[in-house]
Structures are given as structure tokens and as C-alpha cells.
Amino acid sequence: VKILGDGGVKVKAKKSDLKENKRVKGMCKLKDRTKNYVIIGGGAAAAKCAETLRQEGCDGQIIMICKEPYNPYDRIKVTKIFDSDPSKLQLRSDEFYKDNNIELKKGVT
């Protein structure tokens, strides 16, 4: 963000960030593989938990164990938009989890 002399504001952003349509707080990187955090479940709360752990400085391995074979998705939208593209229901993309070293084990019972 840059404040211009005429009082205007100039914002610089990556196109990929704008496509996501979601703001992401800075995340720490995986540094310590001896610390393991396992999250059971693949719903919105589990996804937010994994994201918050990284945002708050958790540098250990984060593993989400999901029963469904999908990334965490917006379950509310499923009941309202039956013909929607499934990728649009995802809370975060595969790239998001990969980039932030959050391992998803999908389809595990």
C-alpha cells in the first residue's frame, strides 16, 4: 500500500491473491519436523485451526486427517448451490496447503 501525494492510495497485489478473493495473514514456515500436530477432521473448524497454528508461529508439522476425499469446503454453500463447481466450494486450494506445509490426508477412516 502506498499513499500518493494527492491523497490517493495505490495497492499492489498478485493476480493469484485477487483470484482467491480471500485475505491470508502471514504464515510461518515448517522448521521443526520433531513437533507434530494432528487435527482430526476436515471441516471448516479443522481448516481454520491449521491455518491459525501457522499464523501464530507453529513451525512444526501439521497434519489434517479427513474422512472425505476432498479439501475442507463450505458445507453451507452445498445446500444452496447444487450445480456449483466443487473447487469453488473449497475453503482453501491445494496450493495453499502445500505452500504452508499443511499436510492433508484425505479419505482416511
Residue 10 lies in a domain: no
CA distance 77 to 40: 22
Residue 6 lies in a domain: no
| CATH number for the domain harbouring residue 95 | 3.50.50.60
pLDDT digit string (tens) for 46-69? 999 999 999 999 999 999 999 999
Residue 13 lies in a domain: no
Q: Which three cell numbers stand for residue 87?
A: 473447487
Distance set, CA 54 to CA 19, 42, 50, 51 (Å): 22, 17, 7, 5
Cα 36 from chain centroid (whole Å): 18
pLDDT digit string (tens) for 74-99? 888 777 776 667 677 889 999 999 99
CA distance 96 to 24: 10
Pick the closest to residue 91 from 61, 37, 52 (CA basis).
52
Residue 5 lies in a domain: no
Lowest mean pLDDT among 15-19, 24-28, 65-69: 15-19
> CB of 51 within 8 A of CB of 38?
no
pTM for the predicted model, two decimal places: 0.72
Domain that holds residue 44: 22-105
CA distance 13 to 45: 28
